């Protein structure tokens, strides 16, 4: 069963006090997790781990490894912002030490590992959540709230697209060196949003990842189709072959009464013209720091919301607030590890479908992947 977000955006109000450490103090920690924690009342960063010889300049003590950190401090929770292959052992060790865990995506490398971590957390009576922060962006929250409303109707079709201009700078580091580049690092967010908007698991998933003559990858072109119940559908195009303009993520959600379009990347535009249907003149102006959501019915539109400039830190702060509220209420977070197994399964299945050249039946795929857990 899917977990839905709260009916209205979280506010900074009377959250429990929690101490947290951050493991891995690279760009994700500096640009997202540290500022996100500073936005959340009740969260205090009391330490970090970075194995490098020169510790980064931060306002909290930095340790070389987990053992040295726990000899000095006892945090309530840990944020894991390290490469994917370290997630499983770190999650396991931190849960065994009595810590709640907030883990970067992808959660683990295999579904068997994910199930093991979730079950360990439940035995320890601890929580583990995955930072699928795109669910908590204001633009996507606004789109989600529209689904089922009279002026939108039922969601019938989702189309997502990205054109990403790769450079030496975007591809440097461990992410760019991974042959499973695009779907693993970014497509996993798009797949999670499909589950989020439809509020159910896809029945089948089909993927093509043409390498355009580059037999060793990486997967710079992803064409992914998901089928949901009642003949509903989602299509994802992630194009990092493009030498055209950069579009970080554009989404269109088609409802029975109207559609909602969201865009990440910021916008400053002024447009004037004649509407093709009515021949009426129009004048449009938009300024959005980092994202926007518009509702459209034919040629008529209205802006629903936009996100602040610090898009990823702000949405991660919203996720952390939701997590703290859930700890207080004894409820399951929208981005819990158990919920995220569905997203992880979609990402792994996309590569499997592309390799086999055939659709994947998701329920059978998950059962087969976790039979005789590793």
pLDDT, tens only, 47-80: 999 987 677 789 999 999 999 999 999 999 999 9
Residue identified by tokens 């591809």 is 171
In this predicted structure, what is the pLDDT of residue 214?
Answer: 75
pLDDT exceeds cutoff 50 at 11: no
Domains of the chain: 1-133+309-333 (3.40.50.720), 135-308 (3.30.360.10)
Measuring CA to CA, how many Å separate 344 from each of 110, 211, 271, 310? 8, 23, 41, 26
Instruction: Say if strands 18-23 and 43-49 run parallel, antiparallel, or are unpaired.
Output: parallel
Q: Which residues pair with 43 in a beta bridge?
A: 18
* Average pLDDT value for residue range 123-150: 98
CA-based nearest residue to 205, from 174, 180, 169, 236: 236
pLDDT exceeds cutoff 90 at 134: yes
370 membership: H or E segment, kind and range: none
Rounded to an integer, what distance in angstroms lies between the CA atom of residue 121 and that of residue 233? 34
pTM of the model: 0.90
What is the pLDDT of the chain when averaged over all its residues? 89
- Banded pLDDT at 371 (limits 50, 70, 90): confident
pLDDT exceeds cutoff 70 at 15: no
Rounded to an integer, what distance in angstroms lies between the CA atom of residue 353 and that of residue 371? 19
CA-based nearest residue to 229, from 202, 250, 209: 202
* Average pLDDT value for residue range 274-289: 52
pLDDT exceeds cutoff 60 at 144: yes
pLDDT exceeds cutoff 70 at 284: no
């Amino acid at each position: 069963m899917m977990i839905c977000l709260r009916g209205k955006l979280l506010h900074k109000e009377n959250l429990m006090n929690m101490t947290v450490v951050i493991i891995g103090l690279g760009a994700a920690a500096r640009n997202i997790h540290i500022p996100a924690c500073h936005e959340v009342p009740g969260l205090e960063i009391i330490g970090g781990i970075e194995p490098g010889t020169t510790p980064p300049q931060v306002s909290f003590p930095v340790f070389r490894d987990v053992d040295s950190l726990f000899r000095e401090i006892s945090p309530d929770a840990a944020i894991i912002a390290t490469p994917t292959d370290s997630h499983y052992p770190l999650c396991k060790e931190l849960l065994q030490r009595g810590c709640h865990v907030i883990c970067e995506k992808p959660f683990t490398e295999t579904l068997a590992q994910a199930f093991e971590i979730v079950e360990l957390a439940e035995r320890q009576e601890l929580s583990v959540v995955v930072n699928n922060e795109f669910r908590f962006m204001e633009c996507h929250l606004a789109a989600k709230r529209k689904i089922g409303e009279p002026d939108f109707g039922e969601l019938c079709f989702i189309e997502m697209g990205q054109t990403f201009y790769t450079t030496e700078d975007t591809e440097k580091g461990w992410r760019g060196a991974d042959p499973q580049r695009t779907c693993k690092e970014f497509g996993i967010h798009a797949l999670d949003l499909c589950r989020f908007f439809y509020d159910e698991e896809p029945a089948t998933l089909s993927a093509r990842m043409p390498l355009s003559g580059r037999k060793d990858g990486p997967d710079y072109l992803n064409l992914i189709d998901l089928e949901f119940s009642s003949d509903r559908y989602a299509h994802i195009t992630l194009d990092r072959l493009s030498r055209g303009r950069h579009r970080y993520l554009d989404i269109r959600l088609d409802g029975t009464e109207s559609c909602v379009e969201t865009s990440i990347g910021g916008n400053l535009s002024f447009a004037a013209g004649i509407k093709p249907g009515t021949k009426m003149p129009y004048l449009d102006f938009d300024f959005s720091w980092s994202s926007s959501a518009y509702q459209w019915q034919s040629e008529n539109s209205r802006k629903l919301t936009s996100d602040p400039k610090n898009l990823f830190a702000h949405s991660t702060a919203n996720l952390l607030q939701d997590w703290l509220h859930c700890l207080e209420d004894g409820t399951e977070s929208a981005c819990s590890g158990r919920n995220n197994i569905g997203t992880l399964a979609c990402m792994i299945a996309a590569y499997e479908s592309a390799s086999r050249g055939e659709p994947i039946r998701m329920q059978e795929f998950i059962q087969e992947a976790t039979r005789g857990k590793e």
